[in-house]
Amino acid sequence: MDYRDSPAEAEFRSRLRAWLADNNPGFRSSSTDDEYWARQAEWHTTLYNAGFFGLSWPKRYGGHELPTVFDVIVDDEVAAAGAPPRPSLGYLVQGISTHGTEEIKDRFLPALISGKDRWCQGFSEPDAGSDLAALRTTATLDGDDFVVDGRKIWTSYSDVADWCFLLARTDADVPKHKGISAFAISMEQPGIERRPLKMINGTTKEFGQVTFDGARVPVAHMIGEPGEGWRVAMTIVSHEREPGELGYVARYAKTVNRLKQTVHDDPHAFRPDQREAVAWAHVQVEMLRRHVCRRLSERLDGIDHGPGGSIDKLLMTWVEQSVGAAALSVSGPRAALDTEDEALKVYLYSRAQSVMGGTSQIQKNIIATRILNLPTA
């Protein structure tokens, strides 16, 4: 494939680069500071209003219907500028677009894409993380509504979300994968309690715990057919595991660019192993960037990656942890003495990548059974 910009891509890149020079809000890394999460909605709408968000999504819902390579250009340029990455919500757009009715898509996609409405994803539960099909939250039909009871955990952005993409059990008398349905439920109603969860790196605004106690969701807000929730969930997690959908390359590149500059400014202050760690992180990020380009190019050709998203998730984990290790190495003793050290926070956050969005063990099982066709026992 040809990685060079076409004339239209070059014009877009130049326009975005000039815009970022005047509009970079200068947040700290998204994995280290609550400010990013507190101001993410502001950054989302700023990008959207300037025409730099929702690039590959349909115009009908507020997108631009451009090839996905334009999303890669955004990731390149925000990383080069040291700006915050674009918000990661493409997987929700994919879930609603694939399984929602026309009414559901018209109702929810425009405000999701523009940033007017903020969403969280209510999948994991205290006893149903890796074994998602074991979830116990129920949705019981009551007239024109379902009544929801249960608990969700590790729910990103739940403290600020207007809506939740919820999985709940609607039929307990069928095999567990077939008794789950998906809903768009309003978070602004009685019967919903939200509590933040402090992460090991000090971040308090990303993860949360949500309790549903008699919350209501209209029947018309079911996404997909009754009992189709597992299929909906698999669509979402397959895209959630793709770094191209998440824009994470920009976050990794931003950190590596800063590390490279630190070493470049005073190379004799760093040992060979520290310089090597930064070089390895650079190689890893560039590998992932080119992998994302290839994946998005294949998508333009109509190729569905299916379980291949698990390979992407493992690559993403390895790259994030290489970047975290490099940051810790460059920081040296400071990271051991100062709990507010940014490199320490980057490193600690990177360790969580092994479990968030599906554990590495789950991804390896999927690769073994669904791609390599290996026996399960």
Q: Give the E-state strand segments of the chain in sequence order.
A: 119-122, 138-142, 145-152, 163-169, 180-186, 192-197, 207-218, 222-223
Question: Which of 208, 202, 15, 256 has its CA nearest to residue 248?
Answer: 256
d(CA 254, CA 22): 18
Token readout for 337 is: 């003495």
- Other Cβ atoms less than 10 A from the Cβ of 297: the count is 17
Q: Which residue has the tokens 């500071």?
A: 33
Q: Is 91 exposed, middle or buried (0-12, 13-18, 19+ CB in 10 A)?
A: buried
The amino acid present at 37, given as its one-letter code, is W
Residue 223 and residue 235 in contact, taking contact as beta carbons nearer than 8 Å: no
- Give Cα separations from 19 to 14, 81, 246 (angstroms): 9, 10, 22
Residue 215 and residue 148 in contact, taking contact as beta carbons nearer than 8 Å: yes
Instruction: Let me know if 240 is a catalytic residue.
Output: yes
Among 240, 245, 320, 342, which one carries the catalytic annotation? 240
Report the catalytic residues.
240
